[in-house]
Chain A
Amino acid sequence: MRSRADNDLVTPARTGGRLVALEIDGRPVAVPEGTSVIRAAAEAGIRVPKLCATDSLEPFGSCRLCIVEIEGQRGYPASCTTPVRDGMRVRTESAALARLRRGVMELYISDHPLDCLTCPANGNCELQDMAGAVGLREVRYRPSDENHLSASRDESNAYFTFDPSKCIVCSRCVRACDDVQGTFALTIDGRGFASVISPGQNGPFSASECVSCGACVHACPTATLTEKSVIELGQPEHSVVTTCGYCGVGCSFRAEMKGDLVVRMAPDPDGRANHGHSCVKGRFAWGYATHPDRVIHPMIRNSIDAPWRQVSWEEAIGFAADEFKRIQEKYGRGAVGGITSSRCTNEETFLVQKMVRAAFGNNNVDTCARVCHSPTGYGLKTAFGTSATTQDFDSVMASDIIMIIGANVTEGHPVFASQMKRRLRQGAKLIVADPRATEIVRMPHIEAAFHLQLRPGTNVALINALAHVIVAEGLVDEEFVAARCDPAEFATWKKFVSEERNSPELAEKITGVPAEKIRAAARLYANATNAAIYYGLGVTEHSQGSTMVLGIANLAMATGNIGRPGVGVNPLRGQNNVQGSCDMGSFPHEFSGYRHISDPVVRATFDAAWGVKVDSEPGLRIPNMFDAALDGSFRGLYVQGEDIAQSEPNAAHVSTALRAMECIVVQDLFRNETAKYAHVFLPGSSFLEKNGTFTNSERRISRVRKVMAPLGGKEDWEITCDLSTALGYPMKYSHPREIMDEIARLTPTFSGVSYEKLDRLGSVQWPCNADAPAGTPVMHTAKFIRGKGKFTITEYVPTEERINAQFPLILTTGRILTQYNVGTQTRRTPNAAMHSEDRLEIHPNDAELYGIRDGDLVCVQSRRGQTSLHALVTDRVQPGVVYTTFHHPESHTNELMTEHSDWATNCPEYKVTAVHVSPVSRGSQQDATAAGR
């Protein structure tokens, strides 16, 4: 059921066509060509009764409640499927229409339980509303006649119920699953009166292909599909628009509340990133915010081997500040630092880097984006002049060719993936470059034209071969290159990619992708009117992550696929605020807006604003901090919202480094793995408990609004202010809007951003300044931010991590839809049951070779560590490659990972680890099962 606050305009908007003038109930109306009569009426404030239509779905014309009279036309056409015509005269109310509508409603109600007073949809039910609207006063059919009133309820989904006794078979749920989500899990089984909604093959929801996105629940006009939270708590009484705290899509939601209790999170139809859609995490998995594991009192201890002591905020902050000051006095100014998190708001990350630069007096600040998209920062800044996607999400609807490289969009960015799938079902062609057959390679109504199933670690060889074909076959957009790019750098690049070592034939030997397939994919990409590249961590988390980003930028520039809708280079960010945390100056070498700290002009503006002399030298990155901890030059760390002990590679090395530090301050929701090494624990606040902004993958800045008081008593930005003040650098803000005002004053790309504007426009995409006061959906339209686009040499350099007889398989990693990163949040929701363990995917050939059967417990050993996982034998992975997710700490996935990292940014090479696998003996397996593994 949609929110009561939604203004449902009944059928989708039509845009771009000429205006059609008509008359409805005597009122003149003008709407774009193609608009339905019922939408034209709704836009004029005339409400025509309806049940099967809603503006997120194409009209269907089945309920017959929206019938109208049209002058000169026989009968009573459905206004939802009748398009407007010039001069049309429509009547929405008459005695005949009223009689017919009452007859329709009577039939619906004759097969509907009359339990409105105890129904969970009471007060927000379209069927109830329509019965009132048409003036239904009696039902002549007897309850003893054939009906569906005793149909049993399906409670199998963790978050919603399916009660077929309340179903009116309007098909909104089926169409939402098909058209909005693109999963096709629901169907209408049977015909006529016997029609029923069926998940999969008439089984329960939990056994169907349903991905629990909630689109069906959102579309249902009755209580047939209802959130369990609504059944338990009742209808909400107010709502607050906010932004999801999970992935980089940044969906807008209405937090629907009763007092300070969240009843449900309803996707916001006005949200410009999600257009009213959602996924299982954002829609349903918010219960972690009030989980009993939340730490809500500050704690300190003198040693990590001592028990925690609950203390006041004042004592905890004072203890932390004293320790940091003591460490700096003893070991030097550079002996402490801070880590910001991509889960935190822009305002929070801005304050952490400000505290490090102004109060600590160094640049030892880094963000967890270090371990995901730092190569994007380096690569796109180098090629284009700024570190961000070139497009907005809606751009995909203008793409003819979509190339996905190293991204599992349906699992990692499911709401954007639904939009992409819609475009693919409309006819756009798909190229997927991935070592694994991700879901989108072949799914209902979608099949990739090419799946370039390369070996992990060989991305750069592939991108160079694609470029080789484009140059060799004269497919370069010479006009674009001449006008927009540096000619000398292009000439050098052209010569480089033309060399024989970059040919598809030699790339085939490296990547395993047949040369002809590479050639065909290159032609398809280069010949498109609009071709777009989307990529994820399968590009960045490699020793050549930055090189690959540069290679992608080269390819887009060479084919002129930059600067207009439908094209571009689109990094898909993993966490909600990866883009924002990078924008805010969280890296140790740059200020907000990607300006190097060595730039004296920029530094002077910060010196003046902050009243300090900011250090001109770059600080330590996260992995450098661990190395410096082990050599004794780095002894204190403030970690806001990041679990470095679990998310960093080479876990044994990290653990030793953390143990070597004298003061670690963890600010988080839960006592995470890093807290085991901490001396101070400061209770953080969830996205529901604070004000701020997130910036999503498309550079869209959206408001995060507080809907409940922080359980620990303070919003995260307040804690940083208190700590900075205790360190001797007072920070005083009364609201995060003042922090954003400071960001805008100091950051040219944000100079037009304010909370007032965000409240007025809903969201804006940076750059947002005097040149673009309403923001910038597509960048680099007339010229690149850096001026001329920069082509760079991208030599393929194999990773040092090699397979051999001892470690013959390559382990690569990825995500699953229901879980989020290291699972701190999602494991504390019913999503945990949907993916209760990380499993090892292994090809049937390898499984046979190593004596592994599906479900066996398998020992996975690398050069750095070992763990055990249950096997999933599948041909999704290629022979020689095994795959797992990393959502459960007991999987110890990161203990396997090596020290290898991206050459430019030190982003860890999570995607390539040489391993050996062997079945754990049967006796040991039984022991493990008994022990709960």
Chain B
Amino acid sequence: MDIRNLIRMANDIGAYFAAYPNHDEAVAGIAAHLRNFWDPRMRRALIDYSNQEGGADLKPIVREAVLALAQQDRPAG
């Protein structure tokens, strides 16, 4: 997947949730959105980017959400 495109899409999601007054709720909202609507290969690519490149081009709130998502998406065992 084109990581630039995924970063842009993730940041767009982040821009919506960033307005939430409760930060934790916003982070959880982003992670849930990625979990509910993104194909696993897209999520995996974003998590890999976050892990390997520090997610530099992700908005800070999205970086947090991707970390949370990585925890949820971690294979069992």
Q: Tell whether B21 is near chain A: CB-to-CB under 8 Å.
A: yes
Asked if B20 and A618 make an inter-chain contact with CB atoms under 8 angstroms apart, the answer reads no
CB distance from B40 to the nearest CB of A (A): 5
A794 surroundings in chain B (CB, below 8 A):
19
- Report the Cα distance A364→B41, complex, angstroms: 12
**B residues near A298, Cβ cutoff 8 Å:** none
Cβ–Cβ < 8 Å partners of B1 in chain A: 624, 627-628, 631, 633
Q: How far is the CB of B38 from chain A (nearest CB, A)?
A: 7
- 17 additional A-B pairs beyond A617-B40, A904-B37, beta carbons within 8 Å, are A364-B39, A496-B19, A543-B12, A588-B39, A589-B36, A589-B37, A596-B36, A598-B36, A618-B36, A621-B39, A627-B2, A627-B5, A628-B1, A628-B41, A795-B19, A899-B8, A904-B33
Q: Verify if A903 is at the interface (C-beta below 8 Å from B).
A: yes
Q: What is the CA–CA distance of A631 and B44 in the complex, to the nearest angstrom?
A: 14
Chain B residues near A901 (CB, 8 Å)? 9, 12
A631 close to B37 (CB less than 8 A): no
* Closest CB pairs A-B (n = 10): A795-B19, A903-B12, A797-B15, A620-B39, A793-B19, A617-B40, A903-B16, A903-B13, A631-B1, A627-B2
List of B residues within 8 angstroms of A904 by Cβ: 13, 16, 33, 37
Out of B15, B20, B42, which one reaches A903, CB within 8 Å? B15
Q: Which A residues lie within 8 Å of B8 (CB)?
A: 800, 899
Contact of B41 among A492, A633, A899, A905 (CB under 8 A): A633
Contacts of B39 in A (CB 8 A): 334, 364, 588, 617-621, 624, 628
The contact of A547 among B2, B9, B16, B21, by CB within 8 Å, is B16
B70 touches A (CB below 8 Å): no
Q: Which residue of B lies closest to A625 (CB)?
A: B39
Q: A529 CB to closest chain B CB, in angstroms?
A: 33
The minimal Cβ–Cβ distance linking B37 to chain A, given in whole angstroms, is: 6
Known: A598-B36, A899-B5, A906-B9. A797 touches B41 (CB 8 A): no
Decide: A618 near B5, CB < 8 A? Known: A795-B19, A904-B16: no
Q: Mark A247-278, 1 if CB is under 8 A from B, else 0.
A: 00000000000000000000000000000000
| Chain A residues closer than 8 Å to B16, beta-carbon distance | 544, 546-547, 795, 797, 903-904
In the complex, which range does the number of interface residues on chain B fall in? Answer: 20 to 34
Interface of A is mostly: loop
Nearest Cβ on chain A to B72's Cβ, whole angstroms: 11
Is B18 positioned at the interface, with any CB of A under 8 Å from its CB? yes
Report Cα–Cα, A161/B39, bound state, in Å. 56
- B-contact 0/1 string along A566-605, CB 8 Å cutoff: 0000000000000000000000110000001010000000
CB within 8 A of B37: which of A364, A618, A793? A618
Residues of A within 8 A of B19 (CB): 496, 793-795
B21 and A492 within 8 A (CB): yes
| Centre residue among B8, B38, B39 by max chain A CB count within 10 A | B39
Which A residues lie within 8 Å of B40 (CB)? 617
- Assuming the contacts A617-B39, A618-B38, asked whether A795 and B2 have C-beta atoms less than 8 A apart, the reply is no
Consensus secondary structure, chain B interface: helix
In the bound complex, what is the Cα–Cα distance between A512 and B66 (angstroms)? 37
**Residue total for A at the interface (Cβ-Cβ under 8 A):** 35
- Please name the residue on chain A nearest to B73 by beta carbon: A617
A residues in contact (CB < 8 Å) with B:
334, 364, 492, 495-496, 543-544, 546-547, 588-589, 596, 598, 617-621, 624, 627-628, 630-631, 633, 793-795, 797, 800, 899, 901, 903-906
Shortest beta-carbon distance from A491 to chain B in Å: 11
Instruction: Kindly state the separation between the CA atoms of A784 and B50 in the bound complex, as whole angstroms.
Output: 39
Nearest Cβ in chain A — how far from B2, in angstroms? Answer: 5
Instruction: Point out the residues of chain A lying under 8 angstroms from B36, CB to CB.
Output: 589, 596, 598, 618
Task: Given A496-B19, A627-B2, verify A334-B13 contact (CB < 8 Å).
Answer: no
| Residues of chain B lying within 8 A (CB to CB) of residue A795 | 15-16, 18-19
Q: Complex: how many Å from CA A417 to CA B36? A: 37
Within 8 A of A (CB), among B1-45: 1-2, 5, 8-9, 12-13, 15-16, 18-21, 33, 36-42
Q: Provide 26 A-B residue pairs closer than 8 Å at the C-beta atoms, listed in order of the A residue.
A: A364-B39, A544-B16, A589-B36, A617-B40, A618-B36, A618-B37, A618-B38, A620-B42, A621-B37, A624-B1, A624-B39, A628-B39, A631-B2, A633-B1, A793-B21, A794-B19, A795-B15, A795-B19, A899-B5, A899-B8, A901-B12, A903-B12, A903-B15, A904-B13, A904-B16, A904-B33
How long is the Cα–Cα vector from A905 to B13 in the complex, in angstroms? 10
Query: Closest Cβ of chain B: how far from A591's Cβ, in Å?
Result: 14
Please measure, in the bound complex, the distance between the C-alpha atom of A496 and the C-alpha atom of B21, giving whole angstroms: 9
A383 to B: closest C-beta gap in Å: 14
A211 to B53, CA, bound (A): 59
Q: How far is the CA of A546 from the CA of B5 in the complex (A)?
A: 19
Task: Check if A624 sits within 8 Å of B42, measured CB to CB.
Answer: yes
Q: Which residues of B are found within 8 Å of A631, using beta-carbon distances? A: 1-2
Contacts of A496 in B (CB 8 A): 19, 21
Q: How far, in Å, is B14 (CB) from chain A's closest CB?
A: 9
Interface centre among B13, B15, B18 (most CB of A within 10 A): B15
In the complex, residue of chain B having the shortest beta-carbon distance to the beta carbon of A797: B15
Nearest CB in chain B to that of A899: its residue: B5
Cα A624 to Cα B18 in complex, Å, equals 24
Closest chain-B Cβ to A618's Cβ sits at a distance in Å of 6
Q: Complex Cα distance A334/B21, Å?
A: 38
Least distance between B66 CB and chain A CB atoms (Å): 16
Task: Name the B residues within 8 Å of A617 (CB-CB).
Answer: 39-40
In the bound complex, residues from chain A placing their C-beta under 8 Å from that of B33 are 904
Residue of A nearest to B33 (CB): A904
Residues of A within 8 A of B9 (CB): 901, 903, 906
Query: In the assembled complex, which residues on chain A have CB atoms less than 8 Å from the CB atom of B41?
Result: 334, 628, 633
Q: How far is the CB of A376 from chain B (nearest CB, A)?
A: 15
Chain B residue, CB-CB nearest to A543: B12
Cα A773 to Cα B50 in complex, Å, equals 52
Contact code string B43-71 (vs A, CB < 8 Å = 1, else 0)? 00000000000000000000000000000
Given contacts A617-B40, A624-B39, contact A630 B2 (CB under 8 A): yes
Distance A899 CA – B2 CA, assembled complex (angstroms): 12
Which among A364, A495, A631 has the greatest number of chain B C-beta atoms within 10 A? A631
For A627, the chain B residues whose CB sits under 8 A away are 1-2, 5
CB of B33 to closest CB in A, whole Å: 7
Q: Please give the distance in Å from A417's CB to the nearest CB on chain B.
A: 33
Instruction: Give the Cβ gap from B30 to chain A, nearest Cβ, in Å.
Output: 10
